[in-house]
Amino acid sequence: GAGVSQSPRYKVAKRGQDVALRCDPISGHVSLFWYQQALGQGPEFLTYFQNEAQLDKSGLPSDRFFAERPEGSVSTLKIQRTQQEDSAVYLCASSLAHLDTEAFFGQGTRLTVV
């Protein structure tokens, strides 16, 4: 595709509901990153993949957060039993190589937990 695509763009979830956020990276991009951005703050690192391998998940806030990229392309970020503090914009980015290349960002998914 032309760019990184995220879906849905907006998601309203009731507290306790499970949600799944999808990211379609640019075709051929090796690295894929997930970030969480609260209003007025910078993106906070959650996790990243190199192809299908999840190399770092140190930023995931709790074991309710889970990410996968089973075929090294599309990635899904799943949040179980959502809480109000999970409300944020979730950004996905991909890059062509592992290091020293720019990351291309999607428009994000705005999650609101009510």
- Binding residues (CB under 8 A) for another protein: these are 4, 33, 35, 41-45, 48, 55-56, 58-59, 91, 93, 98-108
The residue type of 4 is V
| Nearer CB in complex with another protein: 57/64 | 57
Local structure of residue 38 (DSSP, 8 states): -
Smallest gap from Cβ 16 to another protein, in A, equals 28
**SS3 call for 87:** coil
How many Cα neighbours within 13 Å face the side chain of 10? 1
Question: Measured from the CB atom, is 81 or 112 closer to another protein?
Answer: 112
Identity of the residue, 48 or 86, whose beta carbon is nearer to another protein in the bound complex: 48
95: which strand partners? 31
